[in-house]
Amino acid sequence: DIVRLTEIRIKRISKFDIDKAQEKIEALEGEIAQVKHHLEHLVDFAISYFQGLKDRYGKGRERKTELRSFDNIEATKVVLRNTKLYVNREEGFVGTGLKKDEYVADCSDIDDVIVFLRDGSMIITKVDVKTFVGKDIIHVAVFDRNDKRTIYNMIYRDGKSGPSYVKRFNVSGVTRDKPYDLTAGTKDSMVLYFSDNPNGEAEVVTVLLRQVGSVKKLKYDLDFATIAIKGRASRGNTVSKYPIKKIELKEKGISTLKPRRIWFDDTVHRLNVDGRGELLGEFRPNDRLLIINQSGRLKTIIPEITTHFDEGMIVLEKWKPNKPVSAIYYDGEKERYYVKRFLVENENKEEIFITEHEKSQLEIVST
């Protein structure tokens, strides 16, 4: 086999092309000389290089993305609430698997739940399929640890036959799965009246006493607005030393909290209460924001920290119902400019105040 392989005839012998090799050498020498020239004139070369990039990739290739800072995101505020929370008040269970029991609210699997019991105890626990929290549940809700505005109004009896107390409090600084006693701690205490108020509302209730001894005034009103908001561990103010027969709601209340100052941070297009950006004003529970877009659409909304704002927004301010909006716009169909002045009448519906022709556009708007 070796002999046979060595006897293979070479049919063609490649001739070395000396002229082609010389051309390659001269081209390399030219490139080296050019590099040396660029190194000696580095500033001019850099300017020329970037100018070439601008000419080549500038026109027609403008930036389509926007540089913007990111805001701090809390998972519990942006997570999709696609699970339903249920409660069995008598047996003392809460969870997402109690589908035959009372519906509470939509929630996510990373939310916490706050539960109040008739004996005056409270507990915060994580959402689960089924959790025992204690029998005789009087209130259950999805819990927000950063909520400073929800105020709980409560009247309870101290012990089995003791006096009754009234208190108003907010819940913060709590540990998960730790029971908290909201009464004075006496055995057999019981909650007689309870309400949760997202904006610190203070209702008026009617207290009905049992006929005991020489008690003359068996019925009187109690206004929660006269009760100071204190810590959840406070005893509260005395309602009566006599047994209470019933407590009835007489009148729903309004917020007793101070107006909340709200700012708009243009870098992240979000509202905040931390003083970042432009101050929009002080807002009570029923106050609204006016939003006007470049497309000629406007609406009013209740300010929420989680609100998303469109890129075309040109007006964002506290809405004053009696303050008119003035606008100049171009009517694409009639090919004329018009001026109009109007009040926002429907606060619950988005409206368009220019014609809907594709060439119509808003020129100027002021409030």
* In a domain? residue 20: no
The answer to whether residue 337 is domain-embedded is yes
Same-domain status, 250 and 347: no
Residue at 36 is within a domain:
no
pLDDT, position 5: 63
* Closest listed residue to residue 236, CA positions, set 275, 186, 277: 186
Amino acid 327: pLDDT: 93
In a domain, 197, yes or no: yes
Which residue pairs, CB below 8 angstroms and at least 24 apart, start in 219-222?
221/250, 222/155, 222/166
| Residues 86 and 207 reside in one and the same domain | yes
pTM for this structure?
0.65
For 220, the 3-state DSSP assignment is strand
Per-residue pLDDT at 70: 62
* 261-to-22, 201, 264, 306 alpha-carbon distances in Å: 80, 18, 10, 15
12 is a domain residue: no
Range of the domain at 305: 260-366
In this structure, the answer to whether residues 210 and 97 fall within a common structural domain is: yes
63, HSE (Cβ side, Cα atoms, 13 Å): 4
What pLDDT is recorded for position 275? 87
What pLDDT sits at residue 11? 47
User: In this structure, are 224 and 265 located in the same domain?
Assistant: no
Q: Does residue 21 belong to any structural domain of this protein?
A: no
Residue among 151, 120, 163 nearest 224 (CA): 151
Domain count, the chain: 2
Predicted local confidence at residue 232, as pLDDT: 92
Per-residue pLDDT of the chain (367 residues; tens, 9 = 90+): 677 666 655 544 444 567 788 888 989 999 999 999 999 999 999 999 999 998 888 888 887 777 666 666 666 665 667 899 999 999 999 999 999 999 999 998 899 999 999 999 999 999 999 999 999 999 999 998 888 889 999 999 999 999 999 999 999 989 999 999 999 999 999 999 999 998 889 999 999 999 887 788 899 999 999 999 999 999 999 999 999 999 999 998 888 888 889 999 888 888 888 888 899 999 888 899 999 999 999 999 988 877 878 888 999 999 999 999 999 999 999 999 999 999 988 888 889 999 989 899 999 999 8
Q: Which residues contact 317 (CB under 8 A, 6 or more apart)?
A: 280, 281, 289, 290, 367
Report CA dihedral (12, 16, 21, 22) to the nearest 10 degrees.
Answer: -140
What was the pLDDT predicted at 14? 46
Shared domain for 359 and 245, answered yes or no, is no
Of 255, 278, 313, the residue that ends a domain is 255
- Please say whether the dihedral angle defined by the alpha carbons of residues 345, 348, 353 and 357, taken in this order, is positive or negative: negative
Q: Give the separation between CA 361 and CA 319, rounded to whole angstroms.
A: 23
Instruction: Establish if 34 belongs to a structural domain.
Output: no
60 assigned to some structural domain: no
Query: Do 121 and 216 fall within a single domain?
Result: yes
Neighbours of 365 (CB within 10 A): 19
Domain end among 189, 224, 255: 255
Assess whether 202 and 322 both reside in one domain.
Answer: no
Report the CATH number that the domain containing residue 156 is assigned in CATH. Answer: 2.120.10.90
